Homo-oligomer: A and B are copies of this chain.
Amino acid sequence: MKLLENRILTDAKVIGSDVLKVDMFLNHQMDIGLLNDMGKEFHRLFADCGVNKIMTVEASGIGIACIAAQYFSVPVVFAKKGANKYIGKDLYTAEVYSFTKDVCTTIGVSKAYLNSSDRVLIIDDFLANGQAALGLTSIIEQAGATVVGIGIAVEKSFQEGRARLLEKGYNLKSLAMIKSMENGTVTFC
């Protein structure tokens, strides 16, 4: 998606060889106009998949998922991190290792909001090693539901996530695919 690629080239900051800071428009401050254009593009890519629910994981995927959901006219469910006495005990859970924070987190979704007839589109802001996306696919499949697609805003294609998800047969589409970030310069696939 040219618009997102251009925005990355203009505003994003490369830190070292593998961190891309996009928190000026995507995941701390959010440009809602851009999120709308991304939502339309996700809909174009997954319109024929029979999506009846969008799933993401807190926190930075939620805004993107909610704006995109308007184009599908479906609800959003986000997986919660950690334990919380009000989320309830009847959960599907998965363990997700975050390279960003160097911790393993349990993510959970109440069993009430996923059932075996659901056709779920996963949406998230980043794909790097694929841990969060794989955690979500595990939760969806525990419910007997179907992962009909995985839509990612920014994919670091030089890391493991893409290969891991394709290996399992998922329908993965990313709006911006980064081949490398050598010497502080972003190159797209």
Chain A positions near chain B (C-beta within 8 angstroms): 15, 19, 21, 23-24, 28-33, 35-36, 58-59, 62-63, 65-67, 69-70, 73-78, 80-81, 84-87, 100-101, 109-110, 112-113
Contacts and interface: CB of A to CB of B under 8 A. Distances in A.
B59 A112 contact: no
**Number of copies of chain A assembled together:** 2
Given A32-B69, A32-B74, A66-B67, 15 more contacts: A15-B86, A19-B86, A24-B112, A28-B78, A28-B80, A29-B75, A29-B77, A29-B113, A30-B66, A32-B73, A58-B58, A58-B59, A59-B62, A63-B66, A86-B100
Contacts of A36: 70
Contacts of A62: 58-59, 62-63, 66
Given A24-B113, A63-B63, A66-B63, A32 B75 contact: yes
A110 B69 contact: no
Contacts of A19: 86
A24 to B, nearest CB: 7
Given A87-B28, A112-B24, A35 B66 contact: yes
B85 A100 contact: yes
10 contacts: A24-B113, A28-B113, A30-B75, A30-B77, A32-B73, A59-B78, A59-B80, A63-B63, A85-B101, A86-B100
Contacts of A28: 77-78, 80, 87, 109-110, 113
Give the most central of A28, A76, A110: most B CB within 10 Å: A28
Contacts of A109: 28
Contacts of A78: 28, 30, 59, 63
